[in-house]
Amino acid sequence: MNPKYKVGQKVKIKPIESERHTSTRDCAIDAYAGQIGEITNYYWINPRIGEVFYIYVVRVGTGYKEIALHEDEIEARISSKSLKTRDYR
């Protein structure tokens, strides 16, 4: 399985679902919810044969703050420049 996001890609940090706040990590990530960041690196782990999990390093804010996020904690940022219009003539 290939990574869903690539280095340099802009992503939006998803808010943590309220019933899922089970750890201090979730609370720390929630502080960044809704912010746009940039993928600076990624890593993968294979806990079992055939399973691959990606962990992304995302730079957020105006400084160089980087946080590690799971693939399901971010979503691709779609800008108006990246949207293509179709001509249906």
> Which two three-digit tokens encode residue 13?
């940090």
Pairing of β 53-60 and β 36-45? antiparallel
> Which two three-digit tokens encode residue 3?
């990574």
Over residues 42-71, the pLDDT tens digits come to: 999 998 888 999 999 999 988 889 999 999
For the chain, how many residues are written?
89
User: Is a pLDDT exceeding 60 seen at residue 80?
Assistant: no
Rounded to 5°, the CA angle 23-29-34 comes to: 140
Model confidence band, residue 85 (pLDDT cutoffs 50, 70, 90):
very low
Q: Which domains does the chain have, with CATH numbers?
A: 10-76 (2.30.30)
List Cα–Cα distances, 26 to 14, 68, 71, in angstroms. 11, 12, 14
Place of tokens 């160089």: 64
